[in-house]
Amino acid sequence: MTRTLVVIRHAKAEQGHPQGDVARELAPRGRADAEELGRWLAGEALVPDLVLSSPAARTRQTTAHALTGADADDVEVWGGRGLYDGGAQRVLEAVREVPEESSVVWLVGHQPVMGIVAAGLADEDASDPDALAALDEGFPTATCAVLTTEEAWADLGPGDARLVAVRTARA
Domains of the chain: residue spans and CATH: 3-168 (3.40.50.1240)
- pLDDT value of position 20: 83
Burial 89-115 (b: 16+ CB within 10 A, else e): eebbebbeebeeebebbbbbbbeebbb
**Are 8 and 107 within 8 A, CB to CB?**
yes
- Model's pTM, two decimal places? 0.96
DSSP-derived letter for residue 21 is G
Give me the tens of pLDDT residue by residue for the chain, a chain 171 residues long. 999 999 999 999 999 878 888 889 999 999 999 999 999 999 999 999 999 999 999 999 999 999 999 999 899 999 987 899 999 999 999 999 999 999 999 999 999 999 999 999 999 999 999 999 999 999 999 999 999 999 999 999 999 999 999 999 996
Compute CA distances 60 → 1, 126, 142, 149, 165, whole Å: 29, 32, 13, 26, 23
Element (DSSP H or E) covering residue 43: helix 28-43
Backbone angles phi, psi at 73, to 5 degrees: -65, -15
Single-letter code of the amino acid located at 143: T
The per-residue pLDDT for 22 is 87
d(CA 33, CA 121): 25
Nearest to 52 by CA among 19, 21, 92, 101: 92
